Amino acid sequence: MKKLLFIIAILIFINVYAKDIEYNRDGSITVNSKDGKTVVNMDGKTILGIPIRSVTMSVKEEKPVITFVYAAEYSDEDLPEKIRNIMNATSKLMLREIGKSNSKLTDLKLVFSLCRYCKTGYCKRKGKKEFTIMFFEKNKKYDEFSVPYIETLKSDAESTLSALIVKKALAK
């Protein structure tokens, strides 16, 4: 209930002061006040200017090390529960598939991002409402894919997307 009241208060604030905020093409915003204009970099922040927390999950700590990162700098909101659930389902499936496989897997890092609003920061520049996964091996990006944001809301998103992510990650 507190969260709902907070959101309502923020929305009222935005509606009252919206005329004083300009959304720029580069993802920044310009705040107009009686003291002049201030440009604010919105990378790694929600559309309300609240810093987004990056979240790191160690999927497998012994060799090969597998890490998942929800990247603030490529997202426009804090890690939503639906995306966290997709990451958890992917983690479980990946560990199961690695256990079955005899392949020579090296350290992997999967970077997850979500552009839901595309009004500010990196997501504004990208211009697409989507869920993206970037694949890194030895800190070098080797693949990336995205699905429209709406796909993450489907009832079978956890199983469908986790299977696709694991398939791409282990195909290397």
Reported as a single tens digit per residue, the pLDDT across 52-81 is 999 999 988 788 889 999 999 999 999 999
Burial 78-90 (b: 16+ CB within 10 A, else e): bbbeebeebbebb
Find where tokens 């195909």 sit. 171
Q: Where are the domains of the chain?
A: 2-40, 55-170
Per residue in 94-116, pLDDT (tens digit) is 999 888 876 677 889 999 999 99
Quick one: average pLDDT of 35-41? 86
97: exposed, middle or buried (C-beta count within 10 Å: 0-12, 13-18, 19+)?
A: middle
pLDDT at 168 over 60: yes
| Contact indicator for 69, 112 with CB cutoff of 8 Å | yes
